[in-house]
């Protein structure tokens, strides 16, 4: 086997979110390295997928061995400021349901954390929460 395709893992994670948030009501989604200008008093979601430490699962070298790839999905939910958290938490539930303790295409998602309110939103002018999910995938070498 070959090393894991990190772009395929990322695309699987991002694709689930894009598909879910394209349905009614549709919510814009922004991914790493994308230009985006938010509309005031609206909602949007930012998804950041990162890969962290891995670990050996078997003692082989570059063939007949396995590694565990560990990563983190941080999904920031932005909604209108000054109208309460309700709409934001509805989006958060949709996102938690996508990833909470499931396996998709060989990606194992852990229990989701959040949505957790942040004290100051970036960009300013929005109410922001975050849903965070760690994940792992087994790399067959």
pLDDT level of residue 66 (50, 70, 90 thresholds)? confident
What's the start-to-end Cα distance of the chain, in Å? 5
Cβ–Cβ < 8 Å for 79, 88: yes
What is the per-residue pLDDT across 6-58, written as a single tens digit (0 to 9) for each? 999 999 999 999 999 998 889 999 998 999 999 888 999 999 999 987 766 66
What pLDDT is recorded for position 57?
65
What pLDDT is recorded for position 96?
96
pTM here is 0.89
Q: How many CB atoms lie within 10 A of CB 8?
A: 13
CA nearest to 10, candidates 83, 91, 90, 104? 104
What pLDDT is recorded for position 126?
92
pLDDT at 1 over 60: no
């Amino acid at each position: 086997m070959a090393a894991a395709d990190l772009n395929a893992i990322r695309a699987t994670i991002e694709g689930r979110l894009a598909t879910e948030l394209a349905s009614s009501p549709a919510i814009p989604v922004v991914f790493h390295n994308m230009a985006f200008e938010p509309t005031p008093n609206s909602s949007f979601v930012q998804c950041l997928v990162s890969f962290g430490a891995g670990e050996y699962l078997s003692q082989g070298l570059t063939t007949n061995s396995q590694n565990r790839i560990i990563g983190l999905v941080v999904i920031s939910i932005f909604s209108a400021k000054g109208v309460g958290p309700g709409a934001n938490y509805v989006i958060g539930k949709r996102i938690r349901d996508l990833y909470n303790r499931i396996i998709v295409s060989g990606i194992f998602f852990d229990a989701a954390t959040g949505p957790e309110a942040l004290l100051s939103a970036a960009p300013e002018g929005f109410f922001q929460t975050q849903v965070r999910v760690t994940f792992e995938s087994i790399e067959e070498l």
